Structure 1
Amino acid sequence: MNIDWAALGSVFGVSLLVTVGLVGAFALGIAGLSRASAATARDGGTGTVAGTGGDAATSGRALLHRLGAYTCFGVCLAAVAFGIYVIVA
């Protein structure tokens, strides 16, 4: 029995990088949603900062954090869908 150690090392390296990348993307998504929630709570959930008469920057940051989080979750979903496609095909 011959083992192709180079191919085994390649598979190990790629799977390690993809795993770390997906976990990192998911963690960034969770952090983005947390920051968006904190920004929304800070402005009272009305889109304005309580007591300041409104701050569009705070609302924009919350939207930006939420958009980034959804992008990270989309990357995770695409990777899972690709994995299922590879298994089925």
Structure 2
Amino acid sequence: MHLDWTALGRVAAVSIGATATVVVVFALGVLGLARLEGTRAQQGGTSALGLTQATLCFLACAAVVGYGIYLIVPPLHSWRVFH
């Protein structure tokens, strides 16, 4: 049995990079929620920037999770939205 160590290293590097990116984006979403709550506590209003940041970050994380599920589940590959 022959292992292509270069390909294995590339897969490992991409997975570590993707995981780190998703974690950072999720943390930025939590930061946006904290900014939103901090503005509510101090001023009684809402922070549009915090809400927008949290929404965009959590949507990006959901898109990555959805794409991962799409890649894992083979029956989804034959289903296409755009014919």
Offset at residue 41 of structure 1 (A): 1.2
- TM-score w.r.t. length of structure 1: 0.79
User: For residues 48 and 41 of structure 2, what CA distance do their matches in structure 1 show?
Assistant: 13
2:49 aligns with one of 64, 68, 72: 64
Residue 39 of structure 1 corresponds to 39
Count of aligned positions: 74
Post-superposition Cα deviations, 1:32-60, rounded to whole Å, max 9, x if no partner, equal 1001110111112xx3xxxxxxxxxxx5x
RMSD (Å) for aligned C-alpha atoms: 0.9
The answer to whether residue 8 in structure 2 is matched with residue 11 in structure 1 is no
Residue 58 of structure 2 corresponds to 73
User: For residues 29 and 20 of structure 1, what CA distance do their matches in structure 2 show?
Assistant: 14
Consecutive unaligned residues in structure 1, runs of 5 or more? 48-58
Look at both structures and tell me which one has the larger radius of gyration over its CA atoms.
Answer: 1
